[in-house]
Structures are given as structure tokens and as C-alpha cells.
Chains A and B, each alone.
Chain A
Amino acid sequence: MSRFNCPIVCCAAGLVAGLVVLGASPGRAEPAEAEPTREDCIAAVDKARALAATLPEDDLSRYFAERSLLQADVEAGNGEFDDCIEYAERATVEVKEHRHVLRPGETFERVPMKK
């Protein structure tokens, strides 16, 4: 059996300080950003798809990027344009940083791409 002291005593001063800080500027929020539109999404996906196409067809990073773009299409089909753009950005980063490579002897089972 072990024991610890009641933490309330040792932290009372910290609590008071915290409340003072929290009360300093209530209600502040960050400025709004524009909501992405379907057009924004389509443009982002088209751009990322073109970038992916610069890699050879059998390149693993191209495959990973195109899988992200499939999900971007799905999000667009459901009106989730912010998520669509997020998946397009992932695809872009995948290609630019070439994050996936097969070492000698390694294999990866790809899901057939929807055409």
C-alpha cells in the first residue's frame, strides 16, 4: 500500500493564478477562414493527380498518392470539401517527399484502382 498527500493543499496557489489568467480575455476567438468549395476541391485533386502522374505507374508513392485521391473524391461526393482538400494535400506530400519505396525483395499488394 502506498500513500500520497492530498494535492489540493499544494496546488491552491496555482489554481488562483490560473483563474486570473483565464479570466483575462474571455470570448476571444480566431478570425474565420474561408470555407473550401467543390471547385476548390476539384482543383486541388486535379493538381495532385497531375503531380502523381509524373511518377512512373508502378511507383509505390504514386500508388499511395492515388489512394489518398480516391478518398478525396469520396469526400467531395459527400460535400466534405475540407476533408477533400486535406486528402489532396496528403497526396501531394506523398509524391513530393516520395515517402514509400520498396526495398529489394519487398512486395506490396495493391488494391486495383477504380477507373
Chain B
Amino acid sequence: MFPSSKVVLLSAASVALASAGTAVADTVNNGNPYLAGDMHNHNTCIDGSVAAGYSIDRSVATGVSPTGGKNFNLDWFTLGNHGGSGNRDCRFSDASAGIPGDNVTTYWNDTLGKTIDGITITSLKGTPSGTGSNRQMWHWQHIEEMEYPIIVQRSALYNKVLIEGMEWVVPGHEHTDVAVIAGQNPLGIGGSTGNANNMAEFEFLYDRQDNDQIGPVDGSNNPIWTGKSFNNSGTLGHAKAVAGVQWLQSRYPLTSYVVPTHSERAGAFSPSGNGGYNIEHFRDFNNAGPTIAIGIESPGHMAQGSKSGGSGSYTTNAVGGGTYGLEGVYTAKVGGLWDGLLGEGRNSFVFVSSDWHTRGALAATSPSTNSDFMPGEYSKLYVPNTPGAVGFKAQSIVDGMRSGNSYSVNADMIGPDLVFHAHGSDGVWHGMGETLVVTPGDTVTVEMQLTVPAGNNSPYSFNNPLLAQVGINQPLNKPSLDHVDLITGQITGVIAPGAPGYAVPNFSGVAGAAVVYNSSTVIAQQIQASSMTKVVNADGSTRLSFTTTFVAPSTPMYIRTRGTNIPVATPNVTDTAGNPLIDVNNANVVCSDPACPVHLDTDGSGNKLVTYDVQAWSNTWFYANPIFIRPAGTPQLLVETNAALAKTLAARASRR
């Protein structure tokens, strides 16, 4: 007997399927200049706690879930489960999630041959693995036969852009977000709803957790996907990973992306094991995939920060020894790894997602968590809206990510209408990811406009305990901005593989935070919110803006921005320059309000500490991608030539 929620879901899916044929080209969105999404989240197919459909429902639906808990109304969603295999039927949530009506963990062994939610799994394909309740389904089969059909159902139900992606368990390395949208058409625009077979093939061939030796077979029982290597660790594994990027670049140069995620977590790269990423590995990926390997995703798991650290799921073994302002040190450090890549003029951009798995000790329906936020609850990745005849679609997301015209926000501290652009003497604005060509000595004007929303999804209305230290009373459910940093760095050109500086020594722990990859990077200006032009909107949100100028340089540079609610030199949070300290320090601060929740860690005296979700709601940041600037007459930057390559490939594709 299956939980009663299955009946409800089946009904919803049936309605969705019935309406699929009437889907229109433009999908639901709110007309904002940027649309919010998430590309890294999990369900019970692998190691998440909730059903695949439930995860999508909570992420993109509006209002309140029928089984309890707020929905988060994302504009778009990419399902990003790990490669490998799983033993649970992901039409069902895990019992540990505590969802009414869906609270019995169900295994593939229980459901083979049964039609549930309109989907029938007749057999577990590929190399048999596990017995009884531990019988495994390989993830390529999840992708083709379970997750993609659910994507199709939910796409029609919500008329939003949903993508079947994955979190690649990378040979030799930590994980990487990947999606191949070629072949997917879940809204059925213009005909068939397509399939995710290209995504599945990549997973089978290149994921180090996928040890299936067979894959799908043809009518004669011969494997369809051939050429799989099992060199999955160390230097050989890295070579396989680069081959995987090349495979994607050669087949799907405009319809896929490759973005390493929580890339500090596993420490430095290990030549004989599976470790993290050093800068040379990002460079290798970008060289192999100039239009697809386009940056870094900062860690999710934002509510895991205990009194011994752990936010981002980072232990003290991570490069940097933990997170900094809920970011990895590669992106949080001024002059860090990201700045090293930007210092070459590479098309390397920063993204954020939830890495949603579980609420930890709390139920999935709870507004609190001591583990992960759901997609759309805390972290939002904004990509440009593409209204009009073409409409916003999966290609819009990939194009937006590739362009660099995107930004990443935690805790809704800014909204969907960021303006960050610059112009020279010609007065033509250039935005994030673009290159402004200037005459040295001219005036360059930078303008920034942003909206601080009236509220966020925090369940807590007590005052921010980190800000209380410096005499600021700011409820956790009311976003605030203290200042933004304008960060600049020099671009000195691409370093060739094997040349000095291409590979850089890297270290696990706090020693990794000391590595400087671009020493020219500085916080060039810090603009206090109190000094910005301010307009209070009718909905209670606040529109802030400022303009600043500087002298056009004689050599190439970039300018990027970040903002935070935390003032400079806030004890246990920021240093005297305003840089985030390692987040474990936040737990030195007591959460003393009577409403501070029970799930916070306590000290030896029973005082609650700023940990878990309270830490995340207290210490908030946003990051925007850079604008590149170079003098007229100098060679194009790699970001320009790679953008031109994408444009050429798009033109070629449109002629076919």
C-alpha cells in the first residue's frame, strides 16, 4: 500500500499531462529583468530526503504546500542529482522527511512493474548492483525513466522552465553541476516532449560513481553507449574529466554547461585519489570547454554551520578550512582563485544554488533547518529574462549563464532587478560579462542600482544577533544592505598550460586561504548603503543606486561587486576591510532572544549560539559577475574570444 499522497500526485500529474499539448512558447514569469532559479538540488533517487516531484513542487509552486510548508516560487529549476546509483524509489519521500501521507521509505525492490504517478519501471537496467532493499538503479536510468518524466509532468503543471541536469561526481575531483539541454523539451513546445538521453549518456560515460559496465542496450542486447573508461581517480581521473568536458564541448557547445561546485570542500587536488580542484583544473576545464566550462558554484548547504564549523558542508579539511560569508574561499577571498581566473581574462563566472538534501533534525515541512535550505528559499541564481516572441526557455538559462550576465543572492538581500554596468566616453553601457573598450585616461562611469526587498523567507522576526553586537536592530526576516564593494583586478593575459603560474600550490585547511592568485585585486571602493540614492517603494522594498567614476586604465582590468548586511569590522564576522571572516567565528556570538530556536548549538552554559539557519539568515551576501575593461587597440580578452566562438557556433547552428 502506498501513501495517500501518491493518489494526489497522480491526479495532479494527470491534469498536467492533459494540458501538455496546449503549452505556449512563453512560460510563466513575472516580467522581471532577471529570473531566479536553482541548478543543484537532490531527491530520493540519490541522497536527498524528499521525492523528486515534491522537491520541484516546493521550489516552483506558489503559496503553501498541501502537506505543509511554504513554496518558493522559483522562475526556473534544474534538477541536479549526483551521478552513481540509488536504492530508493524517488516517487516517494524518505520517512525521515516526515511529510504527512508520504512517510514510508520505498525501495525499487518494492515497486518494480507497478505504475505509480503514471510511470512504470519494469526492471533495473545495466550491471546488477545490490540485493533486496539495497537493489540499485543506475542514475542514467533515473534520468531517462524517472526524473525526466517527472520534469515533463511538472513543467506542464507549472508552465515554468524545468531542466534535467545532474551533479557530476567528477573523476579525480569533487563535484560539478552539468546540464545537457539538447533533446529536452518538457513543455512539448512544437511537438514531442523529448528526452534527457544525452544527459544520461554523459552520466554513464563520465561519472566516477557510475560503475555500470553495460548501460542501455539495443534490440540485440548490445550496449548503445561505448568507450567508457574506469580511470576514476587522481591524475588519470582528471584526464577522464577533461575528456568529459571535451565530449560535451564537441557535441553540445551551446546546450550544456560545466560548473564545479563546492570546489573547496574536498581540500586540495590529490594526484592519486579523489580530492578537490586547484586553479589549474579550472583552467584545464575552461581550455577544454571554452563555451561550457564557465565558472564556479559557491557551496550550498548554507544551514549546516555548527559551533565547530560546517556551513556549506565544509569541514576544517576544506581549502580555507570553512566558508567565509557563506561562500567558499575561492570566491570570497579578494585576490583568491576566482580572481586568478579573471586575471587571465577568462570567462569564469560565479553561481549559487541550494544543494538541497534534507532539513536535518527537522521535518521537510518545517520553516527551520539545521542542514539545507530548499531551492528558492535562501539562495537564488539570477539569469536574464528573455521576454518577447522567443520567450524564456531552457536555452535562455544556459545562454545567460554563459554570458556572465548573472548574479547570485543569499537571503533575498537584493531582488531581481540589479543594474551593474559601466560606460566610457561613448556613453554605451556594458554589463556583467561584457567587455568595455576604453581610451586610457578617459572617464569610466560605473552605475549600480539594486532593490532591497521588504522581506525574505526567514521564519525568524527577532533581531539579527550578529548585527546586535554593533548596536543595529534588524529583524532576520527583513533584508538589509550595509554596503557594496567594488572590487578590481588587473588582467595580465592567459597563462599557457605548463607555463609558470598555470599550476599553483594549494592547501587544505586555513592554509589554503592564504594563497593569493591575483595580487592586484583590491576593494577599490566601498559604498555605504546610507550614501546611496534611496527610494522606498510602495511594497516596502527600497531601491538604492549610485554612480561612480574612475580613470580608464592603460592595461586591461575587471570590476566586480559584492554586497552584504554586515558592517566592516563586525566582531566575529568581518575584518577591518570588510572581508568575511571564516564563518565558524559566528558561533562565538550568543543568540539571546527568547525566540532563538531550540535546534541551535549551545555552549557549555546552555546559551544558544549563532549557528545553522540563524547563522545563514544573519550573515548575508550577494555576488555579481564582472565587467571587463580593456584599452582600445589591445588584443581581445579570452572572455571576448570565447563569447565570439559561441556566437559563431550559434550562427552556424541557425543555418542548419
What residues of chain A have their CB less than 8 Å away from a CB belonging to chain B?
Answer: 1-8, 10-12, 14-15, 17-19, 21-35, 60, 63-64, 67-68, 70-71, 74-75, 77-80, 83, 86, 90, 93, 99-103, 106-109, 111-112, 114
Convert B427-452 into 0s and 1s, putting 1 for each residue whose CB lies closer than 8 angstroms to a CB of A: 00000000000000000000000000
Alpha-carbon separation in the docked complex, A77 to B598 (Å): 30
Interface contact B602-A15, CB-CB below 8 Å? no
Interface residues of B in 494-521 (CB under 8 A from A): 500-508, 516-521
Secondary structure type dominating chain B contacts: loop
- Once the chains are docked, how many angstroms separate the CA of A106 from the CA of B599? 11
**How many A-B pairs with Cβ below 8 Å?**
194
The answer to whether B361 touches A32, judged by C-beta atoms less than 8 angstroms apart, is no
Q: What are 8 A-B contacts with C-beta separation under 8 Å?
A: A11-B490, A18-B516, A18-B519, A18-B520, A26-B501, A29-B268, A78-B46, A114-B95
CB-CB < 8 A to B192: which residues of A? none
A8, B47: Cβ atoms closer than 8 Å? no
Docked Cα-Cα span, A53 to B600, in Å, equals 22
Check if A111 sits within 8 Å of B363, measured CB to CB: yes
The answer to whether B49 and A74 touch across the interface, beta carbons within 8 angstroms, is yes
Name the one of A2, A79, A93 contacting B85, with C-beta atoms under 8 angstroms: A79
Q: Are A79 and B557 in contact (CB under 8 A)?
A: no
**Smallest Cβ-Cβ distance to A8: which chain B residue:** B553
Contacts of A75 in B (CB 8 A): 47
Give the number of chain B interface residues (Cβ < 8 Å). Answer: 88
Does B47 contact A7, Cβ atoms closer than 8 Å? no
Residue B380 interfacial (CB < 8 Å): no
- Tell whether, in the assembled complex, residue A25 and residue B209 are in contact, meaning their CB atoms are under 8 Å apart: no
Query: B59 in the interface, Cβ–Cβ < 8 Å?
Result: no
CA–CA, A8 and B630, complex, Å = 12
Complex Cα distance, B547 from A35, in Å, reads 52
Q: How far is the CA of A99 from the CA of B315 in the complex (A)?
A: 18
State whether B516 touches A8 (Cβ < 8 A). Answer: no
Identify which of A30, A60, A63, A108 contacts B268 (C-beta below 8 A).
A30
Binds A, one of B143-151, B154-162, B243-251, B305-313: B305-313
A63 CA / B362 CA spacing, docked (Å): 11
> Using Cβ atoms and an 8 Å threshold, which residues of chain B touch A32?
234, 270-273, 275
A74 proximity list for chain B (CB < 8 A): 47, 49, 94, 96
Chain A residues near B531: list those with CB within 8 A.
2
- Measured between beta carbons, the chain B residues less than 8 angstroms from A26 are 280, 500-505
| A residues less than 8 Å from B489 (CB atoms) | 7
Give the contacting residue for A6; candidates B486, B550, B601; CB below 8 A: B550
- In the complex, the chain A residue whose C-beta lies closest to that of B209 is A79
Q: Within 8 Å CB of B653, what residues of A?
A: none
Of the candidates A15, A25, A68, the one having the most CB atoms from chain B within 10 angstroms of its own CB is A15
Let me know if B602 and A100 touch, CB within 8 A: yes
